[in-house]
Structures are given as C-alpha cells and as structure tokens.
A and B are shown apart, each in its own frame.
Chain A
Amino acid sequence: MRIGGGSVRYICANCGYIYDPATGDPMNNIPPGTAFADLPDNWVCPLCYADKGNFDPLD
C-alpha cells in the first residue's frame, strides 16, 4: 500500500472530515505531527466515528 509522506492529509469518505497531521486530533488526544499511518488501528473519525478504512489520502 502506497502510504504518503507524514504530512499527507486524509479525508473521511463518510462525512468529509479532514485529518491534518499538522494539527493532530484533539478530540481523540492525538498530538500534532502524527502521520495518518501512525494513528492507532482503533482510531475513528472524531465527527462520524467511521474507522480508518473510510479515509482517502487528500494530497
């Protein structure tokens, strides 16, 4: 699987929420600078709770 660089943003196909590694995800206690690939397997979209498999690379 082609994983983008650590700064690639990912978008939730279910609700459009954008995960930006630069800001991290405070709702799930994810610090800024965390690449998408490094998010835990049980991480979910903070808005609609869809799992990682629902996210597409945006950049």
Chain B
Amino acid sequence: MKPSVSSLYQAVEIAQDIPPLLIGERSNTNGSKKFRDCLLAEDFDGCLRIGLDQEAKGAQVLDLCSAYAGRDETADLTRLVKLYAESVKIPIMIDSTTPDCIEACLKLYPGRCIINSINLEDGGKTLDKVCRLAKKYGAAVVALTINAKGMAMTADEKVETARLIYQLAVGKHGLRPQDILFDPLTFTIGAGDESLLDAGIQTLEGIRLIKQELPGVFTVLGLSNISFGLPPAARKILNSVFLHQAIEQGLDAAIIDPGKILPLAQISEEDRTFCFDLIYNRGQGQEKSPLMRFIDHFAERVETAKDAESEDKRPEEVLHQKIVRGDKAGIEDILAVLLDRYPPLEIVNQILVPAMRHVGELFGKGELLLPFVLQSAEAMKKSVAWLEPHMQKLDLEEGTKILLATVQGDVHDIGKNLVDILLSNNGYKVFNIGIKVPAETIIAKARELKVDIIGLSGLLVKSAIVMQESLPQYREAGLTMPILLGGAALTSEFVATSCVPNYDAPVVYCADAFAGLKALKDFEAGRLTATVAAPKSGQPAMKPGVKDVSIDRSHPAPEPPFYGLRHVTDIDPAKLFPYVNEQALFRGRWGYRRTASSSAEEYLELTRTTIRPLYEDLKQRTLAEGLLQPKAAYGYFRCYSEGDTVYVEAGDDVMAFEFPRQSSPPHLCIADYYRSREEGGDVAAFFVVTIGERIAGETKRLFEADAYHDYLMLHGFSVEVTDALAEYWHEVMRRELGIAAEKPADMTGYVTQGYQGSRYGFGYPACPDLDAHLMLFKLLKPEAIGVTLTETMEMVPEVSTSAIIAHHPQAKYFAV
C-alpha cells in the first residue's frame, strides 16, 4: 500500500501522481484573520465553512490550528477536529506543538492524520514525546529543520538537521522514513531582507539534498512564506512559480491556499522571468535589485476579475467553464483534482457532456460562434483523452455509433468533419471513413462496425443524385438503421420526395452539424422520423435577374494573345491576397457571423482583436511554409455557338459544350454570349486553377491531430484563396484580351462583377453539369499542374476551380 493518510471517508496518497499534495492553509488562527475571528466569536460553523471551502477548491488535506494566547488550545482543537472529521471528506493535519493537545486530537481522529510539527529546538525533548505519539497512533509527522542553534538557513544545514531528526525518529522511535515530511523552511524574499537574498535557492537545494540523502522521506513547504510582504497579485504568481521550481527539486506536498495557485501555463514567460530573477537572485549587475525589478514589474498588477471569479468556484464548475470557454490551459490539473472524487466516466457524463450540450445551446441562440464551438470541442477532446487511461474498456465502448462518409466521387469533407467533431465530443462513437466512398463500402463497413446510424455527405448536385440512387442498394442489402443526409445541394424537399421512399428506415435531412446532433438525440429518444416535405407555404425561391434582355449580337470578338493552351506555375501567392473575399471568409467559411445578440461595435471589436490577427497570421504562415503553390492551366480557342451549344475548336477536334437554358424569361443561356458561325464566330476562354495539394496535406494533418479550430481556419482560408486565384487569373485573362479597362475599385466591385464579361464555374448555377470537365481537361490538360478528376468529374485537389470565360459586356451570373 502506498504511503497515505486518511479521513473517515477516504485515503489520500502522500506522493501524488501530479505533485504536490495540496494541504489547505486557511484553517489556522495564525495565518487567517477570518478563521481567527470565527474562533474568537465561537462561530465553529464559520470555522468549518472555511475548511469546506478549501476542500471545494481542491485541497487534499487540511491543516487545522487553533493556537491563540488566552484560549484553551486543546478544547478548541479537539472540538474542531471532531467537527471537521464528520463533515469534511479529506484528511486533517493537526497543527500543534503541544504533546497533550496533539494526543487529545489523535485519540478522537477517525483516520490517519499528519502531525504538524516536530523540530530539534529544545534538543529533542518534545520531539521524543510527539514521535512516541506518532508511533502509537500511526500518524505521519512534519519535521521542521530547526535545531538547537535555531532555524537552518543554508541547504547543508537543512539536510544536516533533517538527518539528526531522521536518526531520532526512525532510529530511536521506529517510525518509517515515509512517516516523515521534512519542511526545510521557507523565508520571504519579498521583504528586501539582505540576509535572505538566497533564501529561495537554499530552500530549493535543501529539498533536493533531503530527498537525495534520506531516501523514502517526504518533503513539504509552507509555501506562502516565500512571498510575505508583497502585494496579493504578485504573491500569487511568485508562489505558483516557486512551487513549480520546488516540485522540480522533488517537493511532495505544499501547505497553501488552494484557490490561490496558478498553473505555470497561465503565467506568461515574462512574469516567470521576473520570478526566476528574484528566486535565484539573478541579474546582479543591473541598477535595480531583482526585488525592485520584480516589484516594479508587478506594480500595476491587480487580481483580475477572472481570478476573483475562479476563487469562488468549485472544480466541477471550473471544468464546466473551461469547456464552455474553450480554455485548455491547466485543464489536466482540474481533472486530476476531480479524479480523486469521482470515477472518470462520471466526470464525462455529469460534467463534460452537459458542458458541451450547453455549448450547443449557446450556438443555437447565436451567443457562441462556430470557431468558439470548435475550441470548446478541443477542450472536451483533451479532457476525454486525459481521462481515457483511467477508464474501463467497457466504458469506452458505450454510446450510439454512427458511420460517416462522403459519397462516391465527392472530395468535399469539411461539413462531414464538422459533424465528426461535434458528435465525437458529445459522447457519440463516430467512424469517419473519408471521401469518395462507394455505396458497397459504406454498406460493408456499416455491417462490420454494427453502427446504429449512417450519415452521408456530399457537396454537389451530383452527390445528391448519388444518394438518391444508391438508397435502394442499402435497402436490398437489408440494412435497417436510419440514414442522415447532409450537403449543400440538398433540400428537405428533395430528401422527402426523392430519397425517403427509396429506403425502409427513416431518411433524415440535416442542414448542418447541429441538426445532425439533434437527429442523434432524437434517435436515442426513439423519436427520429423521416423528413417530410413542408407544405407549400409561401412561394418558391425568387429567381433573380434582369427579366428583359436581348443580347447584342454585333459585339466583336477580341483578339487573344495566342490560341491553344498554356500552363503557368510561377504565380506569386502574395499577389492573391488582395483578391480574397474577406467577408465570405470571415462570415461564411469561418462562421464569425454577427448574430442577433451582438452589436456593431462588438463585431468590430471581434474583427479587430480576433479575426484579423488570425487572418494575418495565416497569410504569413502559409507564405513562409510554402503552402500556397498557385498554378493555372488556361487557353483561348476559336468557337461558335449554335442554339444552346458552344462548339470549341482545338486543333482537329471540335468539342461541343452544351449549356442549359432558363425556362422563364429572359431565357438566358451561356451560349448566347458567343457569336454563331454566321455572325463570324467567337473566342472562348477557359481556365483550371489550383493552389496545390500541399495545403490539403497540412489541413488533413490538423484534423487528424484534433486541432479543430485551426483545421476550420486553414480549410476556409484555402478555399477562399482558391477563389481569389480564380478572380486574379480571370483579371489576367481580361488584360490579355484587352478588355480590362474597367477595374473594380474594391471587393464589392469584384463581387458585383464590375468588370467586362463573366466567368462561369462548371458545377455552378449557370452550368451545373460537371461532365463538361471531361472536355475541359482534354482542352487544357491540367494534369500537368497536378489537377485530376474523380469518377464523378470533381477536381482533385479540392482547392482547384475551373471556368469558361465570356468576354461579352452583357455576360453576368445567372441561374438556370
């Protein structure tokens, strides 16, 4: 059995997995005015509350001291020990140097406690008495390095005194080494006492030597002594840094105020440096002493509202807050505290999962934006990963299982991956089998993994059709679990009328990751039903566009600089940034929307403090790391239109690009912007551009490393930079065609096409059929710049885009 102390309720190991053992210091008449006042007022309940408060803040043992001149120490301390032993779950440290008082407490303490303390001040007389008591009642003992000459100041004196005490306690009285906790004494380095300039160094070295020379013993410090005389905010930081240094030397336990310790991660490098200079008495040559520099640096420091807040919060609440705020710093420390009180599965189910649920609710109300949801999910993931080694295998198997896949031929996965992140961090077991997955594979995997639900994803119209047409396959395969469908081209109407009838179990349309989460909750509650088409309320979506148009057929074709194709691989990525549509990036891709609950000023502030710095950083990093490799395959070709088709001549080949025509006025069709053979023929321009596959690799790496927030950021950035490349290259081609006289003044100008002509991306509303890519690829041979096609004609890598360019002044976007 590992050396431990105990209360009526639990045992606590002295050597903690994550040191130190936290011993609360506040139930002490000598150290706490509040405790003293309660005692003097005979308010024993008040005294108890101070103990309970420390327990709530993470103390693992409580130091209890009632010494006060004029009061009966034994009567007070025995009463307090009884009170604490009943109501406080953690073990007690009896803080007294009076053997009779100590014995009275030991007699009624229902567990194993620590006696604080013994020393050699009187040559050993009291030490003998107390050690006999410790032996008799099985208590552990704190031993201060004070000898007959006084307090040991140097490290050597400390270890020498410890050795003398050890010889008596172990050699003479038969205590075991692990029954002793040596306190090598802490003196303040905050009061400017010249003789104490190296007191910190001596204490740290003392710990090291004691652990080295007296194997098996423990060490403890009364930590706050190191900063006595300094202002509260500075004390907190110095105490925390000194504690960290002491633990590095082997410190096992610390007597502290548990609410006033910061994890090192929350202390800036700069603050730490000032602490180190003071502790190690460094930087002598400078005009100001380390202490003066320390005081100056922390002069303006006040305990922030956030500090004050966390003072009053129990670790359960602190963890909840950390999840909601997406604050990973120091989360393992809180988890370690909680693991002492609850089984890990309970921490997951009672604290972590409800916290994520709350995150979802805040998002639903518009009070939390997607990037912050992802930060919360990261904190959740980190917490669960930390708890996992402590959990039973069975615990880990629990939870509804869902299979996620992007359907055959489709390379898009940001939506599916967001679903993965959200569901995994809400307690569901997610099997994400990637992109371009054929139905056969999905069916086989669903059987093999015995999943409860399948989720299919796909961006383009083609994928919606793939879903519709493959559902009968799932039915024939005998699958009976519900299927969720997600994708930008889907609508609830399409799913209800064209998908639901093709499968026997519920088929459910999910507009986004949160709808997917809701579907899973509905499934668990037994109320998941197939999507139904909403009754025809209101009218169908408007069809924007000028309604009365006749295309000028006399507009001449420009003379291109060359006919045929060219490949360009030396495009400077920095040139693309002015063309990035920042609003689409910030709001659309990254999800930094301005919701009903934020004001214009708040959104401006968010933009200034969070969004822009993120964006600037991404631009710098992607440039520095060579993640942007923009390339273009483009060309100009003779062509002529005939009806709805544009015939493009490439060498001996003629390729027929057929385009759809609007069924309602003005009945537009892309072919209308090119002259017919009779009218003299025309010039068609095309491009395929890409920013290369390297950034896709980095994006994938972030997702696999559970860096959800950065994954969303980089993915969104890469997609918008691809669009920027399309905008940039379109402008290059306008210049080459001699039609670039009007140049838009700003992004709004580009968005509203304040230039001559238009480009139409294949797959977009004016030419939705991706099969045209087959011909385009024959024309431009983009394989040479690293772009290929999937079996459903989508381009790989995802960060690529294609277009046909019309020079005609009346050409603008329209939908068919």
- The answer to whether A and B come from one shared complex is yes
The chain A residues found within 8 Å of chain B, CB to CB, are 1-2, 11, 13-18, 25-29, 40-47, 49, 51, 54, 56-59
**Does B747 contact A49, Cβ atoms closer than 8 Å?**
no
**Does B587 contact A1, Cβ atoms closer than 8 Å?**
no
**Does A43 contact B581, Cβ atoms closer than 8 Å?**
no
Does B18 belong to the interface (CB within 8 Å)?
no
Closest to B765 in A: A49
Known contacts being A16-B583, A18-B748, A42-B538, is A56 close to B594, with CB within 8 Å? Answer: yes
B754-787 CB mask vs A (1 if < 8 Å, else 0) is: 0000000000010000000000000000000000
Does B579 belong to the interface (CB within 8 Å)?
no
B799-815 CB mask vs A (1 if < 8 Å, else 0) is: 00000000000000101
Question: Which of the residues A13, A14, A17 comes within 8 Å of B752, measured between beta carbons?
Answer: A17
The interface residues of chain B lying within 8 Å CB-to-CB of A17 are 751-752
Question: Which of the residues B544, B583, B751 comes within 8 Å of A44, measured between beta carbons?
Answer: B544
**A20 CB to closest chain B CB, in angstroms?**
10
**Does B596 contact A14, Cβ atoms closer than 8 Å?**
no
In the assembled complex, the Cα of A3 lies from the Cα of B582 at a distance in Å of 24
**A41 CB to closest chain B CB, in angstroms?**
5
For the A-B complex with A15-B581, A56-B595 known, give 20 more contacts whose Cβ atoms are closer than 8 Å.
A1-B596, A2-B596, A13-B583, A13-B587, A15-B584, A15-B751, A16-B751, A26-B546, A40-B538, A41-B538, A44-B544, A45-B544, A46-B544, A47-B544, A47-B752, A47-B813, A49-B541, A56-B594, A57-B594, A58-B600
The interface residues of chain A lying within 8 Å CB-to-CB of B583 are 11, 13, 16
The interface residues of chain B lying within 8 Å CB-to-CB of A16 are 581-584, 747-748, 751
Interface of chain B residues 551 through 606 with chain A (CB within 8 A)? 581-584, 587-588, 593-597, 600
In the assembled complex, the Cα of A20 lies from the Cα of B203 at a distance in Å of 70
The interface residues of chain B lying within 8 Å CB-to-CB of A43 are 542
Closest to A14 in B: B588
The interface residues of chain B lying within 8 Å CB-to-CB of A29 are 547
Does B195 belong to the interface (CB within 8 Å)?
no
Known contacts being A56-B587, A56-B593, A57-B594, is A47 close to B751, with CB within 8 Å? Answer: yes
**B407 CB to closest chain A CB, in angstroms?**
23
* Highest count of chain A CB atoms <10 Å: which of B540, B584, B597, B815: B584
**Does B544 contact A42, Cβ atoms closer than 8 Å?**
no
In the assembled complex, the Cα of A45 lies from the Cα of B597 at a distance in Å of 23
Question: Which of the residues A2, A51, A58, A59 comes within 8 Å of B541, measured between beta carbons?
Answer: A51
Question: Which of the residues A15, A44, A46, A59 comes within 8 Å of B600, measured between beta carbons?
Answer: A59
**A3 CB to closest chain B CB, in angstroms?**
8
* Highest count of chain A CB atoms <10 Å: which of B583, B752, B815: B583
Write 20 A-B pairs (CB below 8 A) sorted by A numbering: A1-B596, A13-B588, A14-B584, A15-B581, A15-B588, A16-B582, A16-B583, A16-B584, A17-B751, A25-B544, A27-B544, A28-B544, A41-B538, A44-B541, A44-B544, A45-B544, A47-B752, A49-B815, A56-B594, A59-B600
Does B192 belong to the interface (CB within 8 Å)?
no
The interface residues of chain A lying within 8 Å CB-to-CB of B813 are 47
In the assembled complex, the Cα of A30 lies from the Cα of B362 at a distance in Å of 35
**Does B541 contact A57, Cβ atoms closer than 8 Å?**
no
The interface residues of chain A lying within 8 Å CB-to-CB of B581 are 15-16
**Does B545 contact A27, Cβ atoms closer than 8 Å?**
yes
The interface residues of chain B lying within 8 Å CB-to-CB of A47 are 544, 751-752, 813
In the assembled complex, the Cα of A5 lies from the Cα of B751 at a distance in Å of 25
Does B539 belong to the interface (CB within 8 Å)?
yes
In the assembled complex, the Cα of A19 lies from the Cα of B539 at a distance in Å of 21
Interface of chain B residues 709 through 762 with chain A (CB within 8 A)? 747-748, 751-752
**Does A27 contact B546, Cβ atoms closer than 8 Å?**
yes
The interface residues of chain A lying within 8 Å CB-to-CB of B815 are 49
**Does A11 contact B587, Cβ atoms closer than 8 Å?**
yes
Interface of chain B residues 593 through 650 with chain A (CB within 8 A)? 593-597, 600
In the assembled complex, the Cα of A2 lies from the Cα of B583 at a distance in Å of 22
**Does A42 contact B540, Cβ atoms closer than 8 Å?**
yes
Interface of chain B residues 204 through 255 with chain A (CB within 8 A)? none
In the assembled complex, the Cα of A11 lies from the Cα of B607 at a distance in Å of 15
The interface residues of chain A lying within 8 Å CB-to-CB of B593 are 13, 56
A-B complex: 10 closest residue pairs judged by Cβ atoms:
A13-B587, A46-B544, A16-B583, A27-B544, A56-B594, A13-B588, A1-B596, A16-B751, A28-B544, A14-B588
Question: Which of the residues A2, A40, A58, A59 comes within 8 Å of B597, measured between beta carbons?
Answer: A2
In the assembled complex, the Cα of A15 lies from the Cα of B594 at a distance in Å of 15
**A56 CB to closest chain B CB, in angstroms?**
4
In the assembled complex, the Cα of A23 lies from the Cα of B584 at a distance in Å of 22
**Does A40 contact B587, Cβ atoms closer than 8 Å?**
no
The interface residues of chain A lying within 8 Å CB-to-CB of B539 are 40, 42
The interface residues of chain A lying within 8 Å CB-to-CB of B752 are 17, 47
**A52 CB to closest chain B CB, in angstroms?**
10
Closest to A27 in B: B544
The interface residues of chain A lying within 8 Å CB-to-CB of B747 are 16
The interface residues of chain A lying within 8 Å CB-to-CB of B765 are 49
Closest to B747 in A: A16
The interface residues of chain A lying within 8 Å CB-to-CB of B584 are 13-16
**B48 CB to closest chain A CB, in angstroms?**
48
Known contacts being A1-B596, A49-B815, is A42 close to B587, with CB within 8 Å? Answer: no
**Does B594 contact A42, Cβ atoms closer than 8 Å?**
no
The interface residues of chain B lying within 8 Å CB-to-CB of A58 are 594, 600
In the assembled complex, the Cα of A13 lies from the Cα of B586 at a distance in Å of 8
In the assembled complex, the Cα of A59 lies from the Cα of B544 at a distance in Å of 25
Closest to A45 in B: B544
In the assembled complex, the Cα of A11 lies from the Cα of B539 at a distance in Å of 23
**Does A42 contact B596, Cβ atoms closer than 8 Å?**
no
In the assembled complex, the Cα of A29 lies from the Cα of B134 at a distance in Å of 92
The interface residues of chain B lying within 8 Å CB-to-CB of A28 are 542, 544
In the assembled complex, the Cα of A41 lies from the Cα of B541 at a distance in Å of 9
**B398 CB to closest chain A CB, in angstroms?**
36
The interface residues of chain B lying within 8 Å CB-to-CB of A18 are 748
Closest to A41 in B: B538
**B202 CB to closest chain A CB, in angstroms?**
61
In the assembled complex, the Cα of A2 lies from the Cα of B366 at a distance in Å of 12
The interface residues of chain B lying within 8 Å CB-to-CB of A44 are 541-542, 544
**A34 CB to closest chain B CB, in angstroms?**
13
The interface residues of chain B lying within 8 Å CB-to-CB of A46 are 544-545
The interface residues of chain A lying within 8 Å CB-to-CB of B540 are 42
In the assembled complex, the Cα of A11 lies from the Cα of B594 at a distance in Å of 10
**A5 CB to closest chain B CB, in angstroms?**
12
The interface residues of chain B lying within 8 Å CB-to-CB of A15 are 581, 584, 588, 751
Closest to A4 in B: B600
In the assembled complex, the Cα of A43 lies from the Cα of B595 at a distance in Å of 20
Closest to A1 in B: B596
**A10 CB to closest chain B CB, in angstroms?**
10
The interface residues of chain A lying within 8 Å CB-to-CB of B542 are 28, 40, 42-44
The interface residues of chain B lying within 8 Å CB-to-CB of A1 are 596
**B769 CB to closest chain A CB, in angstroms?**
18
Closest to A25 in B: B544
The interface residues of chain A lying within 8 Å CB-to-CB of B597 are 2
In the assembled complex, the Cα of A50 lies from the Cα of B695 at a distance in Å of 28
**Does B751 contact A57, Cβ atoms closer than 8 Å?**
no
B528-542 CB mask vs A (1 if < 8 Å, else 0) is: 000000000011111
Closest to A51 in B: B541
**A48 CB to closest chain B CB, in angstroms?**
8
In the assembled complex, the Cα of A46 lies from the Cα of B76 at a distance in Å of 80
